[in-house]
Structures are given as C-alpha cells and as structure tokens.
Structure 1
Amino acid sequence: MAATIALWQWYVVAYKVPHYILPGPDRVVDALVRDWPLLWPALLVTLQITLGALVVATIGGVGLAVLFAQSKWVEMSFFPYAVILQVTPVIVIAPLIFIYVPSKIIGLLICAWIVAFFPILSNTTLGLNSADHNLRNLFQLYGATRWQTLRYLRLPAALPYFLGGLRIAGGLSLIGAIVAEFVAGTGGVGSGLAFKILEASYRLNIPRMFAAILLISLTGIIIFAVLSLVTHLLLRNWHESAVKRDG
C-alpha cells in the first residue's frame, strides 16, 4: 500500500499531471482536511442509510430464513422473489422506487436494503438446513419440540453461515446506499457522499472527489473489520473456522 501511494505521488510529480486530472496523495489528504466540514455530514448521512439497511436486512433475512426452515412449501413459494430482487440491478429499479416512495431517505433505505437482503437470507437458510441430520433425529427421538430443535440445534448450526452473509451484506449495503444516492441525485443538507462526488465532478474538484472516495473505502473497511471481529468473538470458542489451531 505504501509503495503504491509512493508510486502514485512520483508519477504525478514526474509527469506533471494536472491536479484536475489526477491529484497526488498530498492534494487528496489536503482536500480531506480542508473539506472535512462538508464531507463529515455527508458521511453521516451515507452511514445512516447503510447501517439502517443492514439492520432491516438482518431482521428480515433471518426472520424469513427461519420461516423457510419451518416450511419447505413457504421456501419454495417465496424464495424465487428474493432471487428476483437479487438479480435485478438496483440501479434499474431505483428510479421507480423514488417515484413511488415520497420520502428520499426511505427510498435510499429501500435501495440499500434490496442489495443487502439476499446474502443474509440465502446464507442463513443454508445454515438452518445444514444442521446434522443425525442430531436432528436425536432431538426427535428425545421428543424435542420444533422450537427446541430450532433454538438448540439449527440456529447454532446456522450462526457461522449467517455471520458470513452478514459480512457480505455489510459491504453491499454501503454499495447500495451509494448507488441509490447517485440515482436520487438530490443535494442539500441531507445529501450523502455520492452527491458530493457528483458535485465535485461538475466543478472539476477532483481532489474532493478522491477524498470522498477515500472516505467511502475506509467506511467499507471499518464495517468489514467490525463484522469480522464480531464473527471471531462469537465463534472463537467452538467453531472450526475461528478456533486457534496448534502448530
């Protein structure tokens, strides 16, 4: 990473690249510091949409996956709709969402939710269906209820799958929020980082564009790191993917 940044700086200086074409790292950092009062509120708006969509996707995805696990007919009936949402590009349906939904914030939230929802649903459903069938038979032999089997066997078995889907959905919710902001294209006090990028491009303020992109990348890295830490803390004492191995 350090070598890449150094090469970037050397290229800009050696070939005298205009800053409105490709700013050097020093100009990007300077723009980040100088425009921080402008970028920080926009970052909070984008982060609010991202985390809101992730929470809604988690609740809806896990709840629907549990429902799927209880009834194969329900899964066969409704899972195709989830697939349709996943394979339809959000940038195609976002304009319709903003037409039918009067609130811009809710429209952005729906767009980000659509992108983040499927990984949680599919991974959790797979995890719930991956519980050892021998253990299922044992639970049945001892007269466990469907709720007890779900709570003590299927949910713990699905936890690693769910956490894997959650890490994917964390990045996708950020991508969905940014794409939705681009489509919405509305500025003002409540605008996010995507609009700041558009605004900077119209003004040929390329250093500010790079600064906003840097903030988006750092936000995605932090979300992934936090969710990875949560995964490690929840699985470190019992699951093979997180247990420390000798040697």
Structure 2
Amino acid sequence: MTLLSAFSIFVGLLLLWQSVIWIFSLPPYLLPSPARVAHAIVTRLPSLMTSLGLTAAAAAGGLLAALLVGVAIALLFAQSPWIRRMFYPYTILLQTVPIVAIAPMILLWIGPGLSAVTLIAFIICLAPIVANTTQGLISVDRNMVDLFLMHNASRSQVLLKLRLPHAMPSIFTGIRIASGIAVIGAITGELFAGSSRVGVGGIGYAIQYASAQLETDYLFALVLAATLLGFVFFFAVMFLDWYFLHHWHESARVVDQE
C-alpha cells in the first residue's frame, strides 16, 4: 500500500510538471518535459553513471572519515570534561564555516580532484557526528555509572560497556544528518574542485558543464541523480540504524511496530 501511494504521488508530480509546461508554453531550455529528461538519462547514461559514481565515492569517503574522526573526538570529550569545555565549541563552529569560502583554499592547497572533494565532504559531515555522539556519551544516567563503579569497573569499561552502547542511537542520529549533507558537500566541492581530468568529474562538475551548454534536460537528469544518491545514503543509514538497534532500543522498535 505504501509503495502504491508513493507511486501515485510520483505520477501526480510528473503530470503536474507536464501541465505547467503546457499551460505556460515553456520552451525546453527553461523547463524540459519529463520525456526529454528521461531521454537525456537514457542517451547520456554512461557519463551520468560515471559522474554519479565519482560523487558517491567522495561523499562516502568523507562520511566514513567524519564518522571515524568524529567518534574518536567524542570519546575524548566524554572522558575529559576539561578537554570538552575547551575544544567542543570549536568543533561546533565547523557548522558555521561557509564551505564555499574555504573550498577555493582547499583546492589551492591539495589541488583539484577526488581528494579535495572528499575533504570538503569530511568537513561538512564532522560537526553533526561530534555533537550527537558527545551528547549521547555524556547523557548516561548517573546511577548507572555509580553502579558500574561499585563493581570496580575501570574508566575504559564504563566507556565501552555503558557509555558507548547508550550513545548508539545518538551516533546514528548524527550519521543520518551527515549522510544527507555529505552528498551536498561533495557536489559543492566538485563545483569548485572540479576534476583532475578534463571532461571527467562528479555530478557538480557535470552540472557546471550542462549549465554552460544550456543542456537543461541533462541538468535535470543530474539533479535527479543527486537526489537519488541522497536518498540512497539516507536509507542505507536508516537500515543500519534498524539493524543494530531494533533488538533492544525503543526508537527502532517503534519503526518495527509501524
């Protein structure tokens, strides 16, 4: 039933799209029809898949690096309140850094290509993972901590057997937020960092080319591909969230009941 409803909404949006073109007599270079976009996807499928693969690799690499570094930073913050008070605000400031301002500097420092794009995706993904993981690690009930200490648990045991399992839902919340903006970060990076090879680049690089050539139908195809990639990242994280938590945490059990 859910799939039928989603398909009906999709068909309705396509009909609305086509109706706007008919009503206002819009030329294809302003708003191509769904049929023209579908034709562009079919005819340009090899180059579209190449761009999609490069963007996916950069976004996944940045997200994975942000997860590893972010969790490590959060573990350090959870172990030392002094370090957390000193450095936690600076990690949150990463969210306020305009990525379009530092992207040219990254390009200047390490050159164009996949490495620069991955670094930009990493920077944009790091803050939500650090913030959510840290909050989960330090939000453990004090009575549970005292219970562990009463049984002579070490700091590492409290961290790994109490705080880290307790923080798993918060960690996945951070990853879920970062998974969406990872694609945005990768595409933004590609708009500036471009490609290390002429004519070969990710979705952002291809968007620049299609826009310069007024290939609006292919431009729409690239936007749809980027949207689809964002959905894939998001639902992959949702599946991992359910897989690891549904046996014991209420947030995932609610999804099961629905």
TM-score, scaled to structure 2? 0.91
Contact 1:178-1:193 within 8 A present in 2 as well: yes
Aligned to 2:74: 65
Which stretches in structure 2 are left out of the alignment for 5+ residues? Answer: 1-8
Alignment partner for residue 92 of structure 1, among 92, 95, 101? 101
Provide the aligned C-alpha RMSD in A: 1.6
How far, CA to CA, are the matches of 1:8 and 1:190 in structure 2?
31
Is 1:49 matched with 2:49? Answer: no
| DSSP 3-state at the match of 2:139 | coil
2:5 pairs with 1:6: no
Which residue in the other structure is 1:108 paired with?
117
Question: In 1, Cα distance between the equivalents of 2:146 and 2:169?
Answer: 22
**1:210 corresponding residue in structure 2:** 220
Which deviates further from its counterpart, 100-109 or 140-149? 100-109
C-alpha deviation, 1:184, in angstroms: 2.1
Instruction: Tell me: CA distance 1:163–1:197, structure 2 relative to 1, closer, same or farther (3 Å).
Output: same
1:243: how far off?
1.4
Structure 2 counterpart SS, 1:237:
coil
Partner of 2:211: 201
Alpha-carbon separation, structure 2, partners of 1:63 and 1:167: 18
TM-score (normalizing by structure 1): 0.95
Residue in structure 2 matching 1:153, options 141, 162, 166 = 162
* Deviation of 1:189 (Å): 4.8
In the alignment, structure 1 residue 34 sits paired with structure 2 residue 43: yes
| Cα distance in 1, alignment partners of residues 200 and 39 from structure 2 | 24
User: Paired residue for 1:237?
Assistant: 247
**CA offsets per residue over residues 149-185 of structure 1, 9 Å max, x none?**
1111100100000001101101111110011111224
SS at match of 1:204: coil
In structure 2, distance between residues paired with 1:62 and 1:117: 9
CA separation in 2, counterparts of 1:14 and 1:233? 48
C-alpha contact (below 8 Å) 2:113/2:194 kept by paired residues: no
The CA distance in 2 between the partners of 1:57 and 1:185, in whole Å, is 22
- What residue identity is the alignment partner of 2:187? I
Distance 1:163 1:102 in 2: 33
* 1:119-158 mapped onto 2 (5 Å cutoff): 119-158=128-167
Q: Tell me, in whole angstroms, the C-alpha distance in 2 between the residues paired with 1:82 and 1:200.
A: 36
Q: Deviations over 1:2-55 (max 9, x none)?
A: 212111112213433211110011111111111111111111110110000011
Instruction: Report the AA paired with residue 160 of structure 1.
Output: P
**Whole-angstrom distance in 1 between the partners of 2:257 and 2:170:** 25
Instruction: Check conservation: 1:57, 1:116, Cα contact below 8 A.
Output: yes
How far 1:233 moved relative to its partner? 1.2
- Is contact 1:45–1:190 with CA below 8 Å preserved after alignment? no
Which stretch of the first structure deviates more once superposed, 189-198 or 108-117? Answer: 189-198
Structure 1: state its 5+ residue gaps: none
Question: After alignment, is 37-46 or 102-111 more displaced?
Answer: 102-111
Contact map agreement 2:67 2:129 (CA 8 A) in 1: yes
Cα shift at 1:105: 2.1
C-alpha distance in 2 between matches for 1:146 and 1:153: 10
Alignment partner of 2:229 out of 199, 209, 219: 219
Rounded Cα–Cα distance in structure 2 between residues aligned with 1:151 and 1:176: 32
- Cα deviation, residue 81, structure 1: 2.2
Count residues with an aligned counterpart.
247
Offset of residue 77 of structure 1: 2.1
In the other structure, the counterpart of 2:3 is none
